[in-house]
Amino acid sequence: MTAKLRSPEPGHIPVRIRSRRLWPAAVCAFGLVLSCAAATFTAELDRAVVPVGEPATLTLTFIGGEPAQPPDLPDLPNLQVSYVGPSRQVIVSNGRISSTTSFIYTLLARQPGEYVIPALQVQVGDVMLTSPPVVLRVVRSDPRTQLAYLRLVVPQRPLYVGEAFTVEVHLCLRDTVENIGNVQMSPLQTESCTQLKQVRLPNRVERNEYGQFTVIPIVHALVAAKPGTLTLGPVDCSFVAEVTPEGGRRRDPLAGLGFGFIRFTDSKPVSLSAEPQTVQVLPLPTEGRPPEFKGAVGQFTLSLQAAPTNVTVGDPITVKVSLRGRGMLEALQLPEQPDWQAFKTYPPTSKVETTDPLGLEGTKTFELIVAPQTADVQALPPLRFAYFDPEARAYRRLMSEAVPLSVRPGAATPMPVLAAGRSSSEAPPAVTRDILGLKQHLGPLTAAAPPWVQQPAFWMVNSLPVLAWAGALIWRRRLDALAADPRRVRQRQARRRIRDAWHELRRLSVTGPTDAFYATLFRLLQEHIGERLDTPPSAITEAVIEEKLRPAGLSPELCARLHHLFQLCNQARYAPGGSTTELPALCAEAEEILRQLEQFEP
């Protein structure tokens, strides 16, 4: 039995042939499905548990797509979110291109607890992607494991209104920290308080239950302004610590000679925070307040000196009053003295001399002038001063010793003394010639040279340094402007390459060869289009015309002429050789097209 093969009917396509024709379309559709399915969105923390004050890094990763703008994170209480920037990566493997875009954020928590970053929804193309929720657990800082910690030291007793006190901020560094840099410390936050001064005291070494630390103290001098609960802090500090690497202390062997330059340390960023603390501020008591009290709060002593002590009625007596102690010295005032009614008192002058860096301890000296008005005064009465002692919680009164005086009554006005007449027997004094006669002859006259200020050479020589400085300044600003504008630098470099390529293209249009002419023309097209789009020339192909130039507003006629030039270059690349007779005309046409392209602003 013989089997017969039936020829296909007209219009009938065998199944095998049809499957071969559909295979490329199926591959493209399958690749499109894979590209859509490959777009993913994930959220990841560099660590799930961090101490208070240390930053955590959140990375939002997009694979196979990229959103139009960085995603916005929701606002969470006590959590500070800072956007660092994007990171992009393109991988080409076996002819396949995969792109990964990451958006990096820094999370800094102020309080311990769990912070839940909910699922984020981001539009990528026509697809809405959703990330899984992320949980960040923040625990209290443990000084036993930290490189450093921040400590806020406040008074432990209640304060009084007007009392000067100090608050210390201690930056404690473990002994493995050799140096710190880029220190950023926030100012001390205070409420209802006046800040007087801030100083940094010398470092000291402290050993506690957590180990050995170097303490950097910063002291603030403050004055409470009103009663109530005073909140001090918080204080934040960030820096980069140079830490001794694990395995021992390695130092530069030349450091002991004074010119070491090798540094065996690891750099680690550190962020610290000191929690706010409260202090109770009490009002000054009204019970037992002396009449001479003028608001002085602290601890003081009083001394008085007066001179001269033997005077006439109305003569001035200089009185120096010194108040020595601790408190707000600038605010001290002398009270009215009712016992000094027999003296005319002039306004005092004052001077403050401090003995500590904060200006809270020292002496304030008042100097005033008093004049007795009657001869019955026998002494300068004691000067009275009162202050409130916050340590004893009571008012204190000070009184100087009386200064004995000897005051005489005012004398009568003396008669003016008249000059006596000169006796005729006295000889007249000798006549002295203190005025000389006029000079009759001036001598020879000479022409004086003009001063240097009026000579052009003087100004030319002195203007040279100014011109040199101005030229250097202009040149430096030009370099700074170029460094701050990378696009302008790229445009200048592109124009330089375009100018050189044009010279070479004109030469090749006359001399040939044809292959070099078309290669130079293709490079010119890349340079011109790349300069207009601010794109590297190596990335410019014929597809850029339809993808970027036409959507940016380039005329269809010019787009068609650019397509024609690209096609000529491609033909010359794949079919080398040819006549050089048409090269000058093509060079002129290319020059006209690219001149029109230079006037296009995307």
Per-residue pLDDT band for 433 (boundaries 50, 70, 90) equals: low
**Beta pairing class for 113-117 and 134-139:** antiparallel
In contact, 545 and 563? CB cutoff 8 Å: yes
Q: Residue 291: its pLDDT value, please?
A: 93
| 321 strand-pairing partners | 304, 366
State what percent of residues in the chain have pLDDT above 70: 82
Of residues 381 and 250, more confidently modeled = 381
What is the distance between the alpha carbons of residues 369 and 320, in angstroms, rounded to a whole number? 9
Q: Is the pLDDT of residue 365 over 80?
A: yes
Per-residue pLDDT band for 327 (boundaries 50, 70, 90) equals: very high
- Which candidate, 387, 375, 376, 380, places its Cα nearest to that of 345? 380
What is the distance between the alpha carbons of residues 322 and 348, in angstroms, rounded to a whole number? 12
Q: Of 265-269, 488-492, 557-561, give the lowest mean pLDDT range.
A: 488-492
Q: Is the pLDDT of residue 2 over 70?
A: no
Q: Is the pLDDT of residue 473 over 80?
A: yes
What is the distance between the alpha carbons of residues 532 and 599, in angstroms, rounded to a whole number? 9
Of residues 68 and 428, more confidently modeled = 68
Q: Residue 444: its pLDDT value, please?
A: 74
User: What's the Cα-to-Cα distance from 455 to each of 167, 307, 528, rounded to whole Å?
Assistant: 66, 65, 55
Q: Is the pLDDT of residue 347 over 90?
A: yes
Which pTM was predicted? 0.50
3-state SS assignment for residue 577: coil
| Arithmetic mean of pLDDT, 349-372 | 94
Q: Residue 513: its pLDDT value, please?
A: 81
Q: Of 18-32, 110-124, 160-174, 481-495, give the lowest mean pLDDT range.
A: 18-32
Of residues 407 and 563, more confidently modeled = 407
Q: Is the pLDDT of residue 237 over 50?
A: yes
Q: Is the pLDDT of residue 421 over 60?
A: no
Q: What is the crossing angle of helices 514-533 and 556-574, to 10°?
A: 140
Q: Is the pLDDT of residue 164 over 60?
A: yes
Residues in the chain: 602
User: What's the Cα-to-Cα distance from 386 to each of 15, 96, 364, rounded to whole Å?
Assistant: 115, 89, 15
Side chain identity at 137, as an amino acid letter? R
Q: Is the pLDDT of residue 434 over 60?
A: no
Q: Is the pLDDT of residue 438 over 50?
A: yes
- Which candidate, 291, 294, 297, places its Cα nearest to that of 393? 297
Domains of the chain: 38-139 (2.60.40.680), 148-281 (2.60.40), 299-408 (2.60.40.10), 486-598 (1.20.120)
Per-residue pLDDT band for 576 (boundaries 50, 70, 90) equals: low
| Arithmetic mean of pLDDT, 333-359 | 93
State what percent of residues in the chain have pLDDT above 90: 34
Q: Is the pLDDT of residue 558 over 90?
A: no
What is the distance between the alpha carbons of residues 480 and 488, in angstroms, rounded to a whole number? 12
Per-residue pLDDT band for 252 (boundaries 50, 70, 90) equals: low
Range 54-89 burial, b when 16+ CB lie within 10 A, else e = bbbebebbbbbbbbeeebebeeeeebeeeeeeeeee
Distance from the Cα of residue 461 to its chain's centroid: 42
Q: Residue 506: its pLDDT value, please?
A: 81
Q: Residue 427: its pLDDT value, please?
A: 62
Average pLDDT, the chain: 81
| Arithmetic mean of pLDDT, 84-94 | 79
Q: Residue 3: its pLDDT value, please?
A: 40
Pick the most confident of 43-47, 401-405, 455-459, 510-514: 401-405
What is the distance between the alpha carbons of residues 175 and 159, in angstroms, rounded to a whole number? 36
| Arithmetic mean of pLDDT, 418-433 | 53
| Arithmetic mean of pLDDT, 188-201 | 88
Q: Is the pLDDT of residue 200 over 90?
A: yes
| Arithmetic mean of pLDDT, 532-543 | 78
| Arithmetic mean of pLDDT, 371-400 | 94
What is the distance between the alpha carbons of residues 384 and 364, in angstroms, rounded to a whole number? 16
